[in-house]
Chains A and B, each alone.
Chain A
């Protein structure tokens, strides 16, 4: 029963992705062509409020619902993996018009062909796991 809250948050997330049209291939094209503020507005609003909120969480040592401190782990310092991995993801994001969240939302929306994108994304992650140690990080 503890996981019901995550189900509800996921449902809200799916609805927001759909209602904001962030799940649309067209919107991602519009974004990468810098022809609309829409996607930048969505991400920008989330980031701006996120910066503010996380700063407040840190300042006031806010605790989570179980009383544990909310901690933020700094990501490992590197350039290669983020730039190279990010660019590979970006190629796929522009091509399929969806990042992992919207891929799932699209399946629920009725675009069952996105299930194939999802399947291949799992395979892509699996391939990364196989060759990880041979890649520069």
Chain B
């Protein structure tokens, strides 16, 4: 049991749990979509007085903020009590590609080159995380959802707009990975 908890979980087990969360939310009369919280946070800050897009009763979305807070706690619990501290078992080909870009072999779940404080306090490191955040926040709202809202909830409901959005996710992701990374790193 302890071994099961501390090892990485398989894709199928993880997939089953994620879709179970989606069904629980449906059963509780809600829908699974995490990026909506970004809009809710803007609305809660009071900018709705000036920007119409944020002028709505954000209190109806409190449940989703609670879910978001839970996910932060979940990350903490997983790291403190359910982690064996091993680095990500990444595909050899990916390690080789990332080495070629100047990344060292994984020693944990995130690259030090991007997420350590040393990296964040360089101009380039700050720029990467800030730009990444801006694109995520802008893009999800423009597309009307992120991975949870479109790739999982939307595709599961066979919604064509979600399929188009997921194709968009990949167009952007591939341009970044193969077009921009070689210039950036």
Q: Complex: how many Å from CA A39 to CA B152? A: 12
When the two chains form their complex, are residues A92 and B150 in contact, meaning their CB atoms are under 8 A apart?
no
Q: Which residues of B contact A36 (CB under 8 A)?
A: 90-91, 94
When the two chains form their complex, are residues B137 and A44 in contact, meaning their CB atoms are under 8 A apart?
no
When the two chains form their complex, are residues B75 and A106 in contact, meaning their CB atoms are under 8 A apart?
yes
Given contact pairs A65-B29, A132-B53, A88 touches B22 in the complex (Cβ within 8 A): no
Give the interface SS of chain A, mostly helix, strand, loop or mixed.
helix
B14-49 vs A: 1/0 string, CB under 8 Å? 111111011111111110001101110110000100
A interface, size bucket: 35 or more
Residues of chain A in range 58-115 having any CB-CB distance to chain B below 8 Å:
64-66, 68, 70, 72, 74-79, 81-101, 103-111, 113-114
Given contact pairs A10-B66, A91-B176, A104 touches B139 in the complex (Cβ within 8 A): no
Q: Which residues of B contact A100 (CB under 8 A)?
A: 34-35, 37-38, 136, 140, 146-148
Closest to B47 in A: A126
Q: Which residues of A contact B22 (CB under 8 A)?
A: 46, 50
Minimum CB–CB distance for B157 against chain A, Å: 5
Q: Which residues of A contact B180 (CB under 8 A)?
A: 91, 95
Q: Which residues of B contact A99 (CB under 8 A)?
A: 34-35, 136, 140, 146-148
**Contact pick for B21, options A12, A43, A72, A85, CB 8 Å:** A12
**Contact pick for B70, options A14, A38, A66, A113, CB 8 Å:** A14
Minimum CB–CB distance for A133 against chain B, Å: 9
